[in-house]
């Protein structure tokens, strides 16, 4: 009996270790399961902001003229090549031939003109509308298109590789949010709301023979513990930007996995509704900034994996300057600023937190820090669709902890209608000088001025640049080392 009990106990102890290994080993080598923290609210990235849309469709279903790579360099995608005029305002693109949409419609220079004119239209909801209103698109012939920019935009080739610049078929634009049709290697197979999205390889793709993954399934898991469980059980093959810091050693010591630390251009901020009283007073915004200990927030939100920032710009970006000393952590200074502004405490403000763990974990600490200076931050936890519609769309909030992941998004501070409602002629002047300077040294100097102005105005509370963690099955190849944008280039992945 003792021997039998020992064998049973040993088998029971081994079972949790054996089953996950089998799950990974038995996965079809032409299939992939990815985990994402957030579910998209739609699949048309030209209609709504939100990196979670790009994570599913960019470079998979929809394509762009250029392609952004892991190192931030830009290479041709639907463009075959391009030439830039000496004044940096005219771009001539030669387009790839033989490209078709998944509904059989041809891709041509007219497609580019339609897509960019649509993005610039008066009723456009494209988050980068300003970029396209500055461009005039001219068709030279079926495979040549010219973009003429009103202003110098040194980053235009990068911007044309982002999801807001996808090229769309005029016949399908009205239904792309639920039935996306692009020129990419994958088509939408199914979308079970609240559960998952499945993309299937499109055999009509121009380079279909090089695409090894035939089926990619996205599953949405926001809780860190659930993310860890899904990976360890073998239910998920790849989890980009996973919230697994507290389980990191477990993955690093498990030979079934590979762990990649991704540098990013992301900015975690405590967004402030500049249009609401008393937040329209710069002294109140500075008080909120002074009340927050960035280092402690990084520990709470990211388990220490982040770098403090003082403006909407991050170390490693061209022209970065350190502005963390402009609004340093100082509780007494915060109290003094509130008093100078005539604010009677306790001041009650609403703090809206979306689902990602960095927001929920960091938000709790921020509320506690604000309480020390007499600000009562009433936490409202919302789902992602609620944040997109209520906070971002309707501007119904006081404060909100959120991560902005796009590399070149300073332009949003020139938009008074943007959800944080910031407006500054001084900032606009510096930003416009930066984007219209032909000399690199001048451009970087003006970028530094723009960063300093945002910090001095405390347009938002600038918290940290995150370091992301990607966990994947050991034998998955083609992972991005860094994350200049949020994207999952499935056609570049393969099983060893």
The per-residue pLDDT for 49 is 81
Sheet holding 399-404, edge to edge: 306-308, 461-466, 267-272, 399-404, 347-353, 375-381
Q: DSSP readout, 33-67?
A: EEEESS--S-S-TTTS--HHHHHHHBTTTB--SEE
Q: Which residues pair with 82 in a beta bridge?
A: 93
What domains does the chain contain, in order, with CATH numbers?
A: 19-37+185-264+468-495 (3.40.190.10), 61-175 (3.90.76.10), 267-466 (3.10.105.10)
The per-residue pLDDT for 28 is 62
DSSP 232: H
Task: Provide the CB-side half-sphere exposure for 316 (13 A, CA).
Answer: 17
Whole-angstrom distance, CA of residue 147 vs CA of residue 90: 6
Distance of CA 380 to the CA centre of its chain: 22
By the 8 A CB rule, do 35 and 133 touch? no
Chain segment 255-300, per-residue pLDDT in tens: 999 999 998 889 999 999 999 999 999 999 999 999 999 999 999 9
The per-residue pLDDT for 384 is 92
Phi/psi at 295 (5° precision): -60, -45
Distance of CA 364 to the CA centre of its chain: 23
Helices marked H in 95-209 — which ranges? Answer: 109-120, 129-133, 156-159
Burial group, residue 167, by CB count within 10 angstroms (0-12, 13-18, 19+)? buried
Task: Provide the CB-side half-sphere exposure for 405 (13 A, CA).
Answer: 21
Total residues found in the chain within this entry: 496
Structure tokens at 85: 């005029």
Intervals of the chain under pLDDT 50: 1-26
Give the relative orientation of helices 331-340 and 282-290 as an angle to the nearest 10 degrees. 160
pTM of the model: 0.85
Structure tokens at 154: 């040194």
Whole-angstrom distance, CA of residue 162 vs CA of residue 59: 9
Question: How many other CB atoms are there within 10 angstroms of residue 170's CB atom?
Answer: 12
Structure tokens at 332: 């007494």
Distance of CA 254 to the CA centre of its chain: 29
Please name the residue that has the structure tokens 């003429």. 148
R_g of the chain computed on alpha carbons:
24
By the 8 A CB rule, do 455 and 325 touch? no
The per-residue pLDDT for 51 is 87
By the 8 A CB rule, do 273 and 421 touch? yes
Q: Which residues pair with 186 in a beta bridge?
A: 201
Whole-angstrom distance, CA of residue 401 vs CA of residue 267: 11
By the 8 A CB rule, do 494 and 478 touch? yes
* 3-state SS class at 215: strand
Structure tokens at 225: 């513990």
Whole-angstrom distance, CA of residue 193 vs CA of residue 160: 30
By the 8 A CB rule, do 214 and 233 touch? no
Question: How many other CB atoms are there within 10 angstroms of residue 44's CB atom?
Answer: 24
Whole-angstrom distance, CA of residue 492 vs CA of residue 88: 32
* 3-state SS class at 380: strand
For the chain, report the end-to-end CA distance as a whole number of angstroms.
45
The per-residue pLDDT for 483 is 85
* 3-state SS class at 118: helix
By the 8 A CB rule, do 255 and 476 touch? no
By the 8 A CB rule, do 414 and 130 touch? yes
Q: Which residues pair with 258 in a beta bridge?
A: 472
The beta strands (E) that lie in 155-245 are given as: 186-192, 196-201, 215-220, 238-239
By the 8 A CB rule, do 325 and 310 touch? yes
By the 8 A CB rule, do 338 and 287 touch? yes
Q: What is the mean pLDDT of the chain?
A: 92
Structure tokens at 229: 């469980």
Structure tokens at 443: 């451009």
The per-residue pLDDT for 139 is 98
């Amino acid at each position: 009996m003792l021997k039998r009990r020992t064998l049973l106990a040993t088998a029971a102890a081994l079972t949790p270790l054996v089953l996950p290994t089998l799950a990974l080993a038995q996965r079809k080598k032409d299939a992939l399961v990815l985990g994402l923290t957030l579910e998209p609210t739609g699949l048309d990235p030209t209609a709504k902001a939100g990196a979670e849309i790009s994570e599913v469709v960019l470079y998979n279903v929809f394509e762009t003229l250029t392609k952004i790579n892991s190192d931030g360099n830009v290479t041709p995608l639907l463009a075959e090549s391009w030439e830039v005029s000496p004044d940096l305002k005219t771009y001539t693109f030669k387009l790839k031939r033989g490209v078709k949409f998944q509904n059989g419609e041809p891709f041509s220079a007219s497609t580019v003109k339609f897509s960019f004119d649509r993005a610039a239209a008066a009723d456009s909801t494209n988050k980068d509308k300003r970029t396209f209103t500055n461009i005039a698109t001219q068709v030279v012939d079926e495979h040549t298109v010219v973009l003429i920019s009103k202003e110098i935009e040194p980053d235009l080739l990068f911007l044309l590789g982002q999801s807001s610049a996808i090229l769309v078929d005029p016949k399908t634009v009205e239904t792309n949010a639920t039935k996306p049709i692009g020129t990419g290697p994958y088509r939408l197979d199914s979308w079970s709301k609240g559960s998952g999205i499945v993309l299937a390889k499109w055999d009509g793709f121009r380079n279909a023979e090089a695409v090894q993954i035939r089926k990619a399934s996205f599953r949405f898991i926001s809780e860190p513990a659930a993310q860890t469980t899904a990976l360890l059980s073998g239910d998920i093959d790849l989890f980009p930007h996973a919230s697994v810091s507290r389980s990191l050693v477990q993955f690093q010591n498990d030979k079934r996995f590979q762990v990649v630390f991704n540098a990013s251009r992301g900015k975690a901020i405590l967004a402030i509704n500049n249009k609401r009283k008393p937040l329209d007073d710069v002294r109140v915004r500075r008080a909120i900034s002074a009340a927050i200990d960035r280092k402690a927030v990084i520990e709470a939100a990211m388990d220490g994996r982040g770098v403090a920032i003082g403006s909407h710009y991050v170390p490693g970006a061209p022209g970065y300057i350190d502005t963390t000393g402009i609004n340093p952590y100082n509780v007494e200074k915060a109290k003094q600023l509130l008093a100078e502004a005539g604010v009677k405490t306790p001041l009650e403000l609403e703090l809206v937190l979306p689902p990602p763990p960095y927001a929920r974990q960091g938000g709790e600490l921020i509320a506690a820090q604000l309480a020390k200076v007499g600000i009562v931050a009433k936490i409202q936890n919302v789902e992602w669709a609620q944040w997109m519609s209520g906070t971002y769309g309707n501007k119904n909030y006081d404060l909100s902890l959120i991560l902005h992941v796009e590399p070149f998004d300073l332009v949003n501070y020139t938009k008074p209608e943007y959800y944080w409602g910031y407006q500054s002629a001084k900032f606009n002047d510096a930003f416009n000088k930066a984007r219209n300077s032909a000399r690199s040294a001048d451009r970087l100097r003006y970028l530094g001025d723009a960063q300093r102005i945002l910090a001095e105005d405390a347009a938002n509370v600038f918290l940290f640049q995150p370091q992301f963690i990607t966990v994947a099955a050991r034998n998955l190849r083609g992972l991005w080392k860094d994350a200049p944008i949020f994207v999952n280039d499935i056609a570049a992945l393969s099983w060893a």
